[in-house]
């Protein structure tokens, strides 16, 4: 499977498989749908998350001279834009968009599946950090020391 096919498969699994699996889980367990008001919040979160993913992809291509896919990695360390707020903005943006989709389809099961995926995501992020440290050395270590892993924080100003 090519790197681009893997990326497409991930998107299909996340944005179709999780909501469909969640709806099936809801039916199997007899869970009622989330309140109708959740749909508006879902649209907003989906748009915010999808915008974050797109912004990250553009930066990885333009600044990093690579892709978000580990098979075609960035050649330069990207620390600007959302990468200045969190070391894992692609993952965080996918999570926000995924919650948006779960709310849009009003599925507590889809939300539960997303929460269950946070543990493997954490392990993936730790592996990715080891790879980035090996590739970029001191530059990545300095970046890691100044930017949080998951919870976004505004970039700190460098003292002069």
Q: Is 81 left (phi over 0), alpha (psi -120 to 50) or beta?
A: left
Q: What pLDDT sits at residue 160? A: 47
Report the alpha-carbon distance of residue 86 to residue 82 in Å, rounded: 6
For the chain, the average pLDDT equals 91
**pLDDT grade for 104, boundaries at 50, 70 and 90:** very high
Chain segment 39-88, per-residue pLDDT in tens: 999 999 999 999 999 999 999 999 999 888 877 889 999 999 999 999 99
Q: What pLDDT sits at residue 36? A: 92
Reading the block at residue 148, the tokens are 């949080």
**pLDDT grade for 1, boundaries at 50, 70 and 90:** low
Contact 19, 101 (CB under 8 A): yes
Nearest alpha-carbon partner for 114 in 36, 14, 5: 14
3-state DSSP call for residue 41? helix
């Amino acid at each position: 499977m090519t790197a681009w096919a893997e990326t497409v498969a991930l998107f299909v699994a996340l944005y179709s498989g999780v909501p469909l699996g969640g709806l099936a889980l809801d039916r199997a367990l007899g869970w009622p749908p989330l309140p109708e008001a959740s749909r508006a919040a879902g649209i907003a979160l989906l748009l915010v998350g999808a915008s974050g993913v797109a912004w990250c992809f553009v930066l990885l291509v333009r600044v990093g001279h690579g892709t978000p896919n580990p098979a075609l990695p960035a050649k330069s360390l990207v620390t600007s834009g959302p990468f200045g707020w969190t070391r894992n903005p692609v993952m965080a943006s996918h999570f926000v968009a995924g919650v948006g989709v779960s709310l849009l389809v009003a599925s507590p099961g889809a939300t539960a599946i997303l929460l269950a995926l946070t543990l493997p995501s954490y392990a993936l992020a730790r592996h990715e950090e080891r790879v980035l440290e090996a590739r970029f050395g001191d530059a990545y270590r300095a970046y890691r020391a100044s930017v949080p892993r998951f919870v976004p924080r505004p970039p700190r100003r460098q003292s002069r």
